[in-house]
Structure 1
Amino acid sequence: MGRRILGRIAAAAFGFLLLLSSVHSFYLPGVAPRDFLQGDDLAVKVNKLSSTKTQLPYDFYFLNYCKPKNIKNVAENLGEVLRGDRIENSVYTFRMREEQSCTVACKVTLEEKDAKNFKEKIDDEYRANMILDNLPVAVIRQRRDGITSTTYEHGFRVGFIGNYAGSKEGKYFIHNHLSFRVMYHKDPETESARIVGFEVSPTSINHEFKEWDENNPKVTTCSPNTKNLIQGGMAPQEVVAGKDVVFSYDVTFKESNIKWASRWDTYLLMNDDQIHWFSIINSLMIVLFLSGMVAMIMMRTLYRDIANYNQLETQDEAQEETGWKLVHGDVFRAPINSGLLCVYVGTGVQIFGMTLVTMIFALLGFLSPSNRGGLMTAMVLLWVFMGLFAGYSSSRLYKMFKGTEWKRNTLKTAFMFPGILFAFFFVLNALIWGEKSSGAVPFGTMFALVCLWFGISVPLVFVGSYLGFKKPVIEDPVKTNKIPRQVPEQAWYMTPIFSVLIGGILPFGAVFIELFFILTSIWLNQFYYIFGFLFIVFLILIVTSAEITVVLCYFQLCSEDYHWWWRAYLTAGSSALYLFLYSAFYFFTKLEITKLVSGILYFGYMLIASYAFFVLTGTIGFYACFWFVRKIYSSVKID
């Protein structure tokens, strides 16, 4: 009967996955090299308008740019939609290795609303993003410190504010001319070439024309013979309502020695490896310090305690025992709200599995930046399928606590954490929707996420819970007394609040330097691809959380306080509090967000991240302490 039910649940989950694959594209796109011959068409795609000041992406055509007759959306995966990417076709078309000089794209008339939108986006320092052969457009940035090394910025600014012709007040000017440069690597044996770079230099030019012909547009400010358009005396294009704006572009091609496999290096050289190595060394120092403390406890104090306890022979000597052995009759007593603890531990296992597998995929190169949206898609799908382990670990712990309402426990495991996250996400998405941003998740994608949750994750949690309850109960190494022992008054440094807050400092200290780069990549529109460093830091986080919890748990038991279950979880989990405080510090020192909605979005998303970090580190600390307590009490003779 049980196998039949499991089979039906698994079939239903698989059916939901097939249904969703037809509704939404969840694949991780593979990026293969493309060979172009001279004269082949190259189509530039437009992406979103992004700003680090507002963190609200907009569709490229939110502004009155040149539009093709038929705007087509490129197939997107789940991760691209969640990140606010909207990739569409454009009027910018090239031919491989055929240069174009001052090609007119179109003429638009700025209405009052269009001029207002341009001015707002220039004020908020928005950047327009484009893509050619899956490479984002980059702008060469000149360093102010005099170093000649080349650095890049993602996308080009919509425009700028400046003075012209003696005006006292700053005026708004639009970048209406784009000078593209395409780098290619030529195959020495064939005539084919691969695109390895895509740069742009934006310029503002007040184009002039006598009579406008849509079929053969010409402007007097430049001609096909113009080699250098950016010359002195060119008036910039001001943003004025009712004025015509002509958009133009030119294209040059340059052969490069960069190979196709290394073409993303330009975008990934923004991070300094020396700082990452400093982060690793800093974290390793913390781990060595904690490992020394754990070794001292295990090798000297703990082994000496076990030897002394096992040598006690008379009853009088046994009555005089002190320390952690004294609470052997209560140390495995079920804690208050044991069901809630089981739910959080199961959820932590789910997050841990998702994080570990995602990092392994990233290390193997499956989630590189060229797989646009792949990282987010992988995290969502792995979270869904890790529901099996969440149900299993939660039910095994619940059975050990002699719980009887296993169905209620399973439902809480399946709905509590995702429900809280979905509620937060829904409110934040409503705020983004109110700002008419493309970052708002569409209703269809929201429905797909709910279907993934209810159609796959929830059934897998029930399957895992069923398998966990079929396993034999975890036996305690010592018997629990019927009457609980009174906990003596604790010293101030062993009070729950103080010890919990102290316990979170070292795990956070092991990761806070790498956390800076993660926040920078998320909120300052940069690529993060140093997953090797991140994986090492993640391993250090696991070791640090486990060791600090074991150390403080041992001190707690030695002071005859046997309420260690929740304390172990909160000790490592308190590092999330420091993560949130650091995110607030980062907000006020590194970001230039001024809008209320943008600030709410930042702290809302960081609160979600901190909550997930709390559940992850808390579960690591709990299982480390659980193993430690069972180990030491199974090593002594208890009469």
Structure 2
Amino acid sequence: MRLPHSFTLLSTFTTLSSAFYIPGWSIRTYKDNDPIPLQTNKISSPLTQLPYAYSELPFVCPAKKDGFGSRFGSRHVGLNIGEVLRGDRREISDYQLFMGKDVVCAHLCDAEMDAGTAATARRLVQEGYVAEWIVDNLPGATKFVALDKKKTYYAAGFKLGYNEADKAYLNNHVTFVLRWRKYNGDNNKKVIVAFEVYTKSIAGHQGKCPESLDDQPPLELALPQVPDPSSADPERTIDDPDGKIIIPYTYSVYWKEDNSIEWANRWDLYFVNDDESVSVHWLAIINSLVIAFLLTIVVAIVMLRTLSRDIHNYTDLDPETKSQPSSSNSGNLLESADDLDDTPGWKLLHGDVFRPPPLGGLFAPLIGSGIQLLVVIISLLLLSATGILNPSYRGGFLSFSIFLFVFAGLIAGYVSTRVYKTFSGTNWKKNALLTATIFPGFVFSTVFALNIFMWVQESSSAIPFTTILALLFLWAGIQSPLVYAGASIGFRAAPWEPPTRTTQIPRQPPSPETVKWYLRPLPLTLLSGLIPFAVIFIELLYIFKSLWADKSSYYYMFGFLAIVAVIFFVTVVEVAVVATYLLLCKEEWRWWWRAFSVGAGSAVWVAIYSAWYWVAVLGVRGWRSAVVYWGWMGLGCVVWGVMWGTVGVVASWVFVARIYRAIKAD
């Protein structure tokens, strides 16, 4: 299969702006007998993770140079960068659609299939591949009716064929049902409100339409049989290696007026908004609220009771004791540990708690990238919850993700440099370079490695070479200079002054034997990540289903997702605060990376959940799908960990600064 046409950076941004779509806007009207293009897109399967371009399949009708589709200009439809990344490959076909004109049956072409092509077709049918075609931005849908016959819903796409008694049959006849209504009551303007596709397998009508679509034998994907020359049994046959299968492609078109569907709500049928699903989401939110409420009580006890008692006990000490010079470093807030044995452990760490962490050159860029990701996620949730980003805007989610990530580089550079300067760093240009390259470079390298694999597999999800160049330009030509600009602004800003001074000689950290098991790095990360994960695991099931299992469905419950995200954010903050306080009480002053691992702990559970989903739910076939699944899920877990690890650090930083500022004020 050939790679599709490449896309330049300029066309990417042009398409991004022109494809902007909100239900109720961008209405396209037609008059009677207006030609309407039918676009073929990709085929995908719930059993594999490798989509392919429909127009590049070796057994379908190739587009004719002077065919019906040529009247619309270029057959290849310009795609935004999000569509390219998700594997869309749209091309205008030669199926002839005219507004309001019914076609009982029309012959498209006869395709020829040899042994190799037949094997490919059988494999795709056996793996349950579904084709997606598009008319007026609506995917062709398979219609389903609920058991109570009160609700109708759509599943995007239609099956290439079906299996029966170990035989594969190809659906070579399609019936299009297009529903329309008048636009604002104008008889001369009509809008399309639904696009349904019904398939059938019909054999024995090469070069023409069958006399009747009923009671026709199906088209089996089997080569003609010849006697087996290696067998003495004359009745034993094998596939003719030189045999051919002729596939006649035909179609029917029916237009139906339907005033029950508003144009602004025509996508609603693709969203299975049943009562059970809504109830599960509300139960998930209630579950999340209960967890967050219980955790809030724990934090309140720590903050209002334990901390208040700690600070009160400290303020009751003799002022001379608190100000007595220390043999190691005079002038500290707390000078003599011998005189303060009754004070809480965290009070003794005033000279070390704000000491720069090890690998600070990596820590600051990670925090900058984490804030960058957080800005992207918050923006996407707001745009999705308000309906600006929705499934009808194809590729919009990915396009806006890249756009926001690139321009949030300004914030990443600023935050990273402020953190770096807090740790007394002076080479801010080096820090800006690391911020612009470490995390974005890791993401790009992972995507590039997966893309090479997709190229080898000839999947439509392989990114064209010039799109790779466009992504490189976005990274090196726009994002990196923005990081540098943000770093320049951040370095000129006044450094953050910690409330206590750091001693010259580091305090001896507690020995591992004296630390409780649950405060050791690995158990602390796992336990701290489990609580936030419990908030989101139900919502993850729906997200995973739309991404990996049922590709004909769309995730659309962004309102629920926004609520759960807020609860999750609060939970991560509270867990980080409690974990950091427990570490400080045990005189563990090396809290920076611990706070990061606590915030990122839920990423470990997401990875574990991904493994369970792969084994127990997904049931995909082959190692190729495993490479795709684990490649993207591994990258997703790293992104998740960096983002929420940053939230854990910021929350702990604010908490630690607040409690030490409180004792300084006293």
- With normalisation by structure 2, the TM-score equals 0.87
After alignment, is 42-51 or 258-267 more displaced? 42-51
CA contact (8 A) 1:24 1:448 kept: no
1:422-437 paired onto structure 2 within 5 Å: 422-437=444-459
| TM-aligned CA distance change 1:463 to 1:351, over 3 Å | same
Query: Which residue of 2 is the match for residue 322 of structure 1?
Result: 344
Deviation of residue 107 (structure 1)? Answer: 1.5
Query: Which residue of 2 is the match for residue 172 of structure 1?
Result: 168
1:292-311 paired onto structure 2 within 5 Å: 292-311=297-316
Query: Which residue of 2 is the match for residue 37 of structure 1?
Result: 31
Quick one: distance in 2 between partners of 1:127 and 1:486?
63
Deviation of residue 185 (structure 1)? Answer: 2.0
Q: Is 1:413 the counterpart of 2:435 in the alignment?
A: yes
CA contact (8 A) 2:12 2:79 kept: no
Quick one: distance in 1 between partners of 2:184 and 2:442?
57
Deviation of residue 124 (structure 1)? Answer: 1.3
1:180 alignment partner AA: F
Query: Which residue of 2 is the match for residue 508 of structure 1?
Result: 533
Query: Which residue of 1 is the match for residue 217 of structure 2?
Result: 235
1:315-394 paired onto structure 2 within 5 Å: 315=320, 318-320=339-341, 321-394=343-416
Equivalent of 1:136, from 113, 136, 139? 139
Q: Is 1:625 the counterpart of 2:622 in the alignment?
A: no
Quick one: distance in 2 between partners of 1:623 and 1:333?
16
Deviation of residue 25 (structure 1)? Answer: 4.5
Q: Extract unaligned runs of 5+ from structure 2.
A: 1-7, 70-74, 224-243, 323-338
Q: Is 1:498 the counterpart of 2:492 in the alignment?
A: no
Query: Which residue of 1 is the match for residue 157 of structure 2?
Result: 155
CA contact (8 A) 2:175 2:252 kept: yes
Quick one: distance in 1 between partners of 2:584 and 2:639?
28
CA contact (8 A) 2:310 2:344 kept: no
Quick one: distance in 2 between partners of 1:264 and 1:139?
14
| TM-aligned CA distance change 1:99 to 1:147, over 3 Å | closer
Query: Which residue of 2 is the match for residue 201 of structure 1?
Result: 198
1:216-255 paired onto structure 2 within 5 Å: 218-219=208-209, 221-222=210-211, 229=213, 231=214, 233-241=215-223, 242-255=244-257
CA contact (8 A) 1:26 1:377 kept: no
Deviation of residue 363 (structure 1)? Answer: 2.2
2:537 alignment partner AA: F
2:451 alignment partner AA: N
Identity level (%): 39
Deviation of residue 184 (structure 1)? Answer: 1.3
Deviation of residue 112 (structure 1)? Answer: 2.5
Equivalent of 1:577, from 604, 611, 618? 604
Deviation of residue 635 (structure 1)? Answer: 0.5
CA contact (8 A) 1:179 1:202 kept: yes
Q: Extract unaligned runs of 5+ from structure 1.
A: 1-18, 164-169, 213-217
Q: Is 1:401 the counterpart of 2:423 in the alignment?
A: yes
Deviations 1:91-141 (A, max 9, x none): 212222221102111122222332122111112111111001000011124
Q: Is 1:546 the counterpart of 2:573 in the alignment?
A: yes
Query: Which residue of 1 is the match for residue 128 of structure 2?
Result: 125
Query: Which residue of 1 is the match for residue 558 of structure 2?
Result: 531
Secondary structure at the residue paired with 2:132?
Answer: strand
Q: Is 1:259 the counterpart of 2:262 in the alignment?
A: yes
Deviation of residue 188 (structure 1)? Answer: 6.3
2:51 alignment partner AA: P
Quick one: distance in 1 between partners of 2:601 and 2:149?
43
Equivalent of 1:183, from 179, 183, 186? 179
Deviation of residue 37 (structure 1)? Answer: 2.2
Quick one: distance in 1 between partners of 2:197 and 2:469?
39
Query: Which residue of 2 is the match for residue 9 of structure 1?
Result: none
Q: Is 1:599 the counterpart of 2:597 in the alignment?
A: no
Secondary structure at the residue paired with 1:331?
Answer: coil
Secondary structure at the residue paired with 1:636?
Answer: helix
How many residues matched?
599
Deviation of residue 147 (structure 1)? Answer: 6.4
Query: Which residue of 1 is the match for residue 3 of structure 2?
Result: none
Quick one: distance in 1 between partners of 2:10 and 2:107?
41
CA contact (8 A) 2:418 2:491 kept: yes
Deviation of residue 77 (structure 1)? Answer: 0.5
Deviation of residue 424 (structure 1)? Answer: 1.3
Secondary structure at the residue paired with 1:560?
Answer: coil
Deviation of residue 591 (structure 1)? Answer: 1.2
Secondary structure at the residue paired with 1:76?
Answer: coil
CA contact (8 A) 2:499 2:664 kept: no
Q: Is 1:611 the counterpart of 2:638 in the alignment?
A: yes
Equivalent of 1:486, from 491, 508, 520? 508
Equivalent of 1:20, from 9, 23, 27? 9
Deviation of residue 406 (structure 1)? Answer: 2.0
Deviation of residue 631 (structure 1)? Answer: 0.3
CA contact (8 A) 2:180 2:255 kept: yes
CA contact (8 A) 2:172 2:202 kept: yes
Q: Is 1:465 the counterpart of 2:482 in the alignment?
A: no
| TM-aligned CA distance change 1:603 to 1:389, over 3 Å | same
CA contact (8 A) 1:327 1:562 kept: yes
Deviation of residue 573 (structure 1)? Answer: 0.5
2:517 alignment partner AA: W
| TM-aligned CA distance change 1:174 to 1:253, over 3 Å | same
Deviations 1:483-542 (A, max 9, x none): 222233322232232222211111111111111111111112121121111111211121
Quick one: distance in 2 between partners of 1:603 and 1:549?
28
CA contact (8 A) 1:328 1:478 kept: yes
Query: Which residue of 2 is the match for residue 65 of structure 1?
Result: 60
| TM-aligned CA distance change 1:124 to 1:25, over 3 Å | farther
Deviations 1:332-356 (A, max 9, x none): 1111112211111011011001111
Quick one: distance in 2 between partners of 1:296 and 1:349?
29
| TM-aligned CA distance change 1:87 to 1:157, over 3 Å | same
After alignment, is 24-33 or 449-458 more displaced? 24-33
CA contact (8 A) 1:572 1:618 kept: yes
Quick one: distance in 1 between partners of 2:515 and 2:418?
32
CA contact (8 A) 1:508 1:575 kept: yes
Secondary structure at the residue paired with 1:634?
Answer: helix
Deviation of residue 183 (structure 1)? Answer: 1.2
Quick one: distance in 2 between partners of 1:24 and 1:323?
56
Secondary structure at the residue paired with 1:207?
Answer: coil
Deviations 1:334-391 (A, max 9, x none): 1111221111101101100111112212223221111111110000011001111111
For the aligned residues, what is the CA RMSD?
1.9
Quick one: distance in 2 between partners of 1:592 and 1:491?
41
Q: After the TM superposition, which parts of structure 1 deviate over 4 Å for at least 4 consecutive aligned residues?
A: 22-26, 145-148, 314-318
- With normalisation by structure 1, the TM-score equals 0.90
CA contact (8 A) 2:29 2:183 kept: no
Deviations 1:58-116 (A, max 9, x none): 11123221233137111110001001101101121222222110211112222233212
1:277 alignment partner AA: W
2:645 alignment partner AA: G
Quick one: distance in 2 between partners of 1:147 and 1:580?
40
Secondary structure at the residue paired with 2:97?
Answer: strand
CA contact (8 A) 1:347 1:417 kept: yes
Secondary structure at the residue paired with 2:554?
Answer: coil
Query: Which residue of 1 is the match for residue 49 of structure 2?
Result: 55
CA contact (8 A) 1:283 1:537 kept: yes
After alignment, is 195-204 or 332-341 more displaced? 332-341
| TM-aligned CA distance change 1:58 to 1:637, over 3 Å | closer
Secondary structure at the residue paired with 1:91?
Answer: coil
